[in-house]
Structure 1
Amino acid sequence: MYRTNSLQQKLKLFLVILIPILITQLSLYAMNFFDTVMSGKFGTADLAGVAIGSNLWVPIFTGINGILLALSPIVSQLVGGGKEKDVPEIVRQGIYLSIGLAAVVTIIGFFVVDPILNRMDLEAEVAHVAKFYLAALATGIIPLFLFNLLRCFIDALGQTRTSMVIILLSLPLNILFNYMFIFGRLGMPALGGIGAGIASSLTYWISSAVAVWVIYRYKPFRFYAIFTNWRRPSLHAWWEQLRIGVPIGFAIFFETSIFAAVTLLMSVYSTETIAAHQAAINFASYLYMIPLSIAMALTIAVGFEIGGRRMHDAKVYSYIGLSCGIAISFFAGLILYTLDDTVARLYNDNPDVIALTKQFIFYAIFFQFADAVGAPLQGALRGYKDVNITLVMALISYWLIGLPSGWLLAHFTDFGPFGYWMGIIIGLSAGAVTLYGRLVFLQRKLSRQLADA
């Protein structure tokens, strides 16, 4: 990161940060995409099992990972304020925290997965795939959280291309491992959807190892000497990260968990409906990586400017990101509208599943517009370290407005399972409106404070 003096310079730097993040996020989600697509090619029950397993796991992962995301604004503000000497110890304590959180999630998962699946009205084969898909993923939770923590450090320095290269090296390995363990190739047993979990775990271990090696060996990361001068874990240092990270994590959890809740509520419908829902949500979530990447780039850019008390520059970056999100949403909507049949056939060959998937995709066109506004706004607010009010807004928008309205539409109108998707659209739209109001209020407040000072 470096200071810029004109709109053109800001736009250029923002794109330099954004494009590698976007490629990284698309590649990361491609792992889940190929898990779903390749499991669906193995069988409908495997697609449904991976859908259930993913929708139980993703809210937990994204919520906990949100805590680790706090490292990005912390480091970017320190670098922007010329306090690089404080960075190494913060990253080391973050490493301790990431490993500790991963261990806690693994232990809790061991005791709660069976009771949760037993309470769901699932076919026996679907429940079996979901359980052991999650068990396989559990073996890679520690390296996954460690990699995400180290990636936050790498990206906060503006070195987003490094993360991109690591993931681009890992993606082909993930596809290869899926090929081996899902379909039983190269001497491995054919495990269907369960094999997708094994493939993901192996990929997490490799990605984490490469990230450690790069930070230890290459500039500018080597300058910080992250893996030397270790001190004992510090609860005070953990609290500084948790104070920012926990609200971020819960806000993300409230958003992602509404999708999981919808999938679980749909367990009363047929396996074909569950499979079609998962296929549509999987592709729509893949497109969501675009506004999410804009949000991550905004956190870095806004945090850097706030660290240097350059409020106007932070505001300009916020609106650059928001404009990019809106523009790209129209392109994403066009893709969903024109390629719905092609997308549906990627996931399954069953004509009933294809027809249902196309109907779900139609609703996805509308909620991705709300995402394209809401995600960049969240990223900008994280750059300001404004996270507590955002948490409350997320809870109200998604769980007190979105999910109840979806349940009512599903049960008391002719929408049926599509009513839940209408609820998602309502919730995401409400969230986008309130987040925009919060950003405008915060920018005016900080501008007044700076003027008074």
Structure 2
Amino acid sequence: MKQTFSNAQKIKQLFMILIPILITQLAMFSMNFFDTTMSGHFNKHDLAGVAIGSSLWIPVFTGLSGILMGITPIIAQLVGSNEKKKVPFTVIQGIYVAVGMAALIVVIGFFVLDPILAGMKLDHEVQRIAKEYLIALSFGIFPLFIYTVLRNFIDALGQTRTTMLITLFALPINIALNYLLIFGNFGFPKLGGVGSGYATAITYWCILALAAFIIWKKSPFSHYHLFRSFSSIAFSTWKEILKIGVPIGLSIFFETSIFAAVTLFMSAYDTNTIASHQAAMNFASFLYMIPLSISMALTIVIGFETGAKRKEDARRYSKLGISFAVTMSLVCALILFFFREQVAGIYTNDRGVLKLTAHFLIYALFFQLSDAVQAPIQGILRGYKDVNFTFIMALISYWVIGLPAGYLLANYTDLSAFGYWIGLISGLAAGAIGLSYRLRWAQKKQWIGGNTNDSQRNHA
């Protein structure tokens, strides 16, 4: 990354960082997307089972990987302040944190998976598929978490194109393995939806190996000599990572776990409703990759500018990022409205599931606008290392407003399952409003106004 002076230069640099992140996020999400859609074409029980398994796994992964996202603003600010010698030590400590979290989640999963699935009162076959899918996926937890740290390191340097290429390399491997293991082609065992779990786990090992090789051999990453030595555990650095990362992880967990909670309530409905809800939610989450990618790009550029004490530049990046996110959300909403039946057809050939999925997708339209505001602001605040309010707002908007409203609407009105979606929309809107006020306050009190670097630049 480099210092920029005009809005045109800022837009160019933001897009150079953003586009690879967006492609990477879409490709990473596509692994889950293809797990779900390819399982759905095996049969509807596998669609429901994989969707249930994914709905339980995604909040756990995104919440814990959110903790590791604390590394990104730390490294971005170190690079911006020209303290590059501290970067390798921070990354290695992040890897230690990742390994510890992966081990913890495997142990916890061993004890709680059966009771959670039993409590959902699913069809026996759906429950079996969900459990075995998650067990298969667990073989990829360690490489996935370590790769997340390496990816945050690569991205924090502004080299987002590298992670894009790694993920694009991995996606066809995942699809090919799904083709072999779900449907039993070319002599491989026909595992149905469970096969997609093994396919994804193998893919995670592939992307870890490739990322490690690139960091070891290729510039500019090789200049940091990341794997030359492994320092001992430093809890002071863990504390710094966790101080920033835990609020990020909790805010992401509260956001994603609400969807898992809704899925638990949805288990009271028939298999067609569960499958339709999960298919529509899967596509809505796919579209969410756009504002999420903008959020991640803003964390990088704002962290870099903040580290260099260019506060006005950080503020200008904020406006550009939010404006672009809102524009893209309007485009996505229009596309989803006019092509919702075609989108539903991606997931299933079952006419009943298809029709119901198209109906759910109408509600997904309203997710777009709220996400376009709240996600970029989250990224901006993380770039400033202002993370605690985001976590509190996520708790209130989803668990105090969204879920209770959804439960009441679903159980005490004629909206039925659609009531949960209206509750989620309400929570998203509340989050967007609260975060908007926080950003305005933060920039007014802490970040607006010139400083030495800005003044020197403007008089140069």
Deviation at 1:452? 12
What does residue 124 of structure 2 align with? 124
Deviation at 1:335? 1.4
Helix, strand or coil at the partner of 2:177: helix
Q: Deviations along 1:427-453, whole A, 9 cap, x unmatched? A: 000000100110110011114797799
Q: Deviations along 1:278-319, whole A, 9 cap, x unmatched? A: 110111111110000000000000000010111110011111
Identical aligned pairs, as a percentage?
Answer: 56
Determine whether 1:329 maps to 2:329.
yes
Deviation at 1:183? 0.3
How far apart in 2 are the matches of 1:110 and 1:207? 26
How far apart in 1 are the matches of 2:20 and 2:326? 20
1:222–1:261 distance in 2 versus 1, CA, 3 Å: same
Alignment of 1:11-22 (within 5 A): 11-22=11-22
What does residue 378 of structure 1 align with? 378
Helix, strand or coil at the partner of 2:41: helix
Helix, strand or coil at the partner of 2:230: coil
How far apart in 2 are the matches of 1:228 and 1:240? 23
Q: Deviations along 1:176-234, whole A, 9 cap, x unmatched? A: 00001100012211111100100000000000010000000000000000101221111
> AA paired with 2:163?
S
How far apart in 2 are the matches of 1:405 and 1:285? 21
How far apart in 1 are the matches of 2:175 and 2:448? 52
Determine whether 1:442 maps to 2:442.
yes
Deviation at 1:413? 1.0
Q: TM-score, normalised by structure 2?
A: 0.97
1:13–1:450 distance in 2 versus 1, CA, 3 Å: closer
Helix, strand or coil at the partner of 1:385: coil
1:306–1:407 distance in 2 versus 1, CA, 3 Å: same
What does residue 41 of structure 1 align with? 41
8 Å CA contact 2:31–2:174 kept in 1: the answer is yes
Helix, strand or coil at the partner of 2:168: helix
Q: TM-score, normalised by structure 1?
A: 0.99
How far apart in 2 are the matches of 1:43 and 1:369? 34
How far apart in 1 are the matches of 2:448 and 2:380? 19
1:126–1:324 distance in 2 versus 1, CA, 3 Å: same
What does residue 92 of structure 1 align with? 92
8 Å CA contact 2:410–2:416 kept in 1: the answer is yes
Alignment of 1:150-165 (within 5 A): 150-165=150-165
How far apart in 1 are the matches of 2:257 and 2:98? 21
Any stretches of 5+ residues in structure 1 without a counterpart?
A: none
How far apart in 2 are the matches of 1:448 and 1:104? 42
Alignment of 1:217-228 (within 5 A): 217-228=217-228
Q: Deviations along 1:401-444, whole A, 9 cap, x unmatched? A: 01100111101111100000000100000000100110110011
How far apart in 2 are the matches of 1:29 and 1:447? 34
Q: Deviations along 1:154-173, whole A, 9 cap, x unmatched? A: 00000000000000000000
How far apart in 2 are the matches of 1:367 and 1:204? 29
Alignment of 1:28-67 (within 5 A): 28-67=28-67
What does residue 341 of structure 1 align with? 341
Runs of 4+ more than 3 Å apart: 447-453
How far apart in 1 are the matches of 2:249 and 2:271? 31
Please tell me the root mean square deviation across aligned C-alpha atoms, in Å: 1.2
Q: How many correspondences in the alignment?
A: 453
Deviation at 1:107? 1.0
How far apart in 1 are the matches of 2:121 and 2:330? 38
Alignment of 1:244-393 (within 5 A): 244-393=244-393
How far apart in 2 are the matches of 1:141 and 1:335? 35
What does residue 396 of structure 1 align with? 396
